[in-house]
Amino acid sequence: MRDKETYRYFEEDASRLLDALARGKDEAISYLFDTRARSLWFYCNEILRDGALAEDVVQEVFVRLWESRKRFPDLLSVHAFLYRVGRNLSLDLLRHRVVRRRHEPAIIRELNENVPDGKLIEEELLGELHRAVDRLPAACARVFRLSLAGAGNQEIADRLSISIHTVKTQKHRALVALKDWLGGARDG
């Protein structure tokens, strides 16, 4: 059935909609979503004051409707279910938001106490990089160190009396080796 025909079919007799819903027909849930989701979104958004969260709630409400589809004796029960579940989920989100805000400062404080300083992490990573550069062949390591210091390809070529092509080749080899070594260190 096309949408208009399906909708007319369901609107003529609510028992058809309830039967199709109970039998798990996609058309039934589509009809309910198309005819009720917008007003349900407005209702949830009034509670949450957050359109994206209200949209998430509406999606979850229809998932729960699908899961409970066999238990509705009449269309009024379906509508009541939609708004009751929408309200409850919205209120749960608000309560969660309050709890999170209440505990956020303590969590942040604990994280700051237990997580090493960013500078320490940076130094450790740089140390790991320099140890990996030390493993490179000497010529490759010289080129890469100059590059790390900010020297451009032409400057490196001039300082080491090598061609710019050699500089590019050595940098490429260094990067390939370092990615392999440092990537392997993180994976293993």
Mention every residue, 6+ apart, whose C-beta is less than 8 A from residue 182. Answer: 128, 129, 132
Could you report the per-residue pLDDT of 81-117, keeping only the tens digit for each?
A: 999 999 999 999 998 888 877 777 777 776 666 655 6
- Domain termination site, one of 113, 145, 160: 113
135 plus 105 within the same structural domain: no
Q: What secondary structure, in 3-state letters, does 11-60 show?
A: HHCHHHHHHHHHCCCHHHHHHHHHHHHHHHHHHHHHHHCCHHHHHHHHHH
Higher pLDDT, 187 or 129: 129
pTM above 0.75, yes or no: no
For residues 110-138, give the mean pLDDT.
Answer: 74
DSSP 8-class letter at 72: -
Number of folded domains that form the chain: 2
151 plus 108 within the same structural domain: no
What does the pLDDT read at residue 18?
94
Of the candidates 33, 30, 41, the one whose C-alpha atom is nearest the C-alpha of residue 3 is 30
d(CA 131, CA 118): 20
For residues 106-134, give the mean pLDDT.
Answer: 72
106 plus 137 within the same structural domain: no
1-5, 56-60, 135-139: which has the highest mean pLDDT?
56-60
169 plus 78 within the same structural domain: no
92 plus 169 within the same structural domain: no
Buried b (16+ CB within 10 A) or exposed e, 168-182: eebbebbeebbeebe
126 plus 65 within the same structural domain: no
Measured at the alpha carbon of residue 27, what is the angle toward residues 25 and 29, in degrees to the nearest 5?
Answer: 80
Domain with 147, as residue range(s), is 118-187
- Quick one: CA dihedral 76, 78, 81, 85, positive or negative? negative
Q: How confident is the model at residue 129 (pLDDT cuts 50, 70, 90)?
A: confident
What does the pLDDT read at residue 29?
94
Could you report the per-residue pLDDT of 140-188, keeping only the tens digit for each?
A: 999 988 988 888 999 999 999 999 999 999 999 988 888 887 775 444 4
- Domain termination site, one of 113, 131, 161: 113
48 plus 73 within the same structural domain: yes
